[in-house]
């Protein structure tokens, strides 16, 4: 990683200027020097209603990298990680906001090799994944026996690929005006990351932290709940090893957390997750090469 002196703030580039990218831009200006912003569609800049230095807009990612950032923050789509991570890590560190990209084994392998070759670092924000540090400690001891992550949102908050997209429409039609839950998927996180790449970054974070289980071992459950018009819910449940208690009894370690995050109807990211991203970006410095959840 570059030797960044104390005389100047960290220089960052932002990939993605949607709801999350705009939030990050507004909240990082006082702590960092934003040197470029890139978005796949230029309409995002035209529709931004606040004062904005148009000179920050980079026509291409390569143009942005020529401005010598110390850290590039990606908050757009996992395809962007796959396309540009190699070039970014030649120049600087990378903060990934779309960790579902790592569900593609080739992408994860590329990133791990590239950090070693370039000396730069890949960071992933914890986002909506609660208890990351404790689960990481268990993973380091290989003490995780199972990890299941359940995400519940209103149907309008999902951006799904087939066949989940059609399944949601069909099951929602059956519900009519009634409230109810629709189980869209239950199984390994790796497959789900391909089916709902914008919605299950929390699961990808969990699979990255719980590396001994990984994307194939960590289980994900995706539920559309028509009653959740003002919040997102994330349930994290894990089991650890059994311990002998008394002469004959064995008791297993078990934790379940339920995180309720206020969210506007139809949004992909809840309000608390937005602030979590900002905090994680501020922590994205000083680590050794590799992939780190912060």
Q: What is the CATH number of the domain that holds 232?
A: 3.30.360.10
Same domain? For 151 and 179 the reply is yes
pLDDT of residue 6: 55
Average pLDDT over residues 179-195: 97
Q: What is the DSSP string of 146-180?
A: EEEEEEEE-GGG----TTHHHHHHHHHHHHTTS--
Q: Is residue 3 part of a domain?
A: no
Q: Closest Cα to residue 3, out of 70, 48, 51?
A: 70
Average pLDDT, the chain: 93
- Report how many domains make up the chain: 2
User: Is the domain of 138 the same as that of 247?
Assistant: yes
Task: For residue 49, name the pLDDT band (cuts at 50, 70, 90).
Answer: confident
Give yes or no for residue 176 having a pLDDT over 70: yes
Check whether residue 232 and residue 249 sit in a common domain. Answer: yes
Provide the token pair at 196. 């709902």
Contact 121, 99 (CB under 8 A): no
Query: Which strands form 181-188's sheet, in the order they lie side by side?
Result: 181-188, 219-225, 146-153, 231-245, 249-262
Q: How far, in Å, CA of 41 to CA of 46, rounded?
A: 10
Domain range enclosing 232? 132-267
User: Which residues, 6 or more positions from 180, have their beta carbon under 8 angstroms from its beta carbon?
Assistant: 225, 226, 227
- Going by their DSSP bridges, the two strands 219-225 and 249-262 should be labelled as unpaired
Beta bridge partners of 249: 245
What residues are paired with 290 via a beta bridge?
121
CB 140 within 8 A of CB 216: no
Is residue 7 over pLDDT 80?
no
Quick one: average pLDDT of 63-79? 97
Residue 103 contacts residue 207 (beta carbons within 8 Å): yes
pLDDT above 90 coverage of the chain, percent: 81
pLDDT surpasses 70 at 3 = no
pLDDT band of residue 86 (cuts 50, 70, 90) is very high
């Amino acid at each position: 990683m570059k030797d960044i002196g104390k005389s100047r703030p960290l220089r960052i580039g932002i990939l993605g200027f949607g709801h999350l990218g705009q939030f990050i831009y507004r909240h990082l200006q006082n702590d960092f020097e934003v040197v470029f912003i890139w978005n796949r569609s230029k309409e995002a800049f035209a529709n931004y209603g606040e004062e904005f230095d148009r000179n920050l807009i980079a026509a291409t990612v390569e143009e942005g990298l020529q401005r010598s950032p110390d850290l590039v923050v990606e908050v757009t789509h996992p395809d962007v990680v796959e396309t540009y991570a190699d070039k970014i890590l030649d120049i600087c560190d990378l903060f990934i906001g779309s960790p579902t990209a790592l569900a593609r084994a080739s992408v994860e392998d590329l990133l791990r090799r590239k950090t070693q070759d370039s000396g730069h670092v890949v960071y992933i924000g914890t986002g909506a994944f609660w208890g990351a540090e404790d689960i990481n400690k268990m993973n380091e001891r290989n003490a995780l026996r199972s990890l299941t992550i359940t995400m519940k949102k209103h149907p309008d908050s999902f951006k799904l690929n087939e066949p989940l997209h059609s399944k949601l429409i069909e099951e929602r039609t059956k519900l009519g005006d009634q409230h109810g839950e629709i189980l869209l998927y239950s199984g390994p996180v790796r497959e789900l990351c391909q089916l709902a790449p914008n919605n299950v970054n929390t699961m990808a974070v969990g699979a990255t932290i719980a590396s001994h289980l990984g994307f194939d071992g960590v289980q994900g459950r995706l539920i559309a709940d028509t009653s959740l018009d003002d919040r997102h819910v994330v349930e994290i449940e894990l089991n650890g090893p059994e311990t002998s208690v008394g002469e004959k009894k064995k008791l297993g370690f078990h934790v379940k957390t339920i995180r309720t995050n206020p969210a506007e109807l139809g949004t992909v990211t809840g309000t608390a997750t937005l602030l979590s991203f900002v905090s994680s970006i501020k922590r994205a410095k000083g680590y050794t090469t590799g992939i780190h959840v912060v």
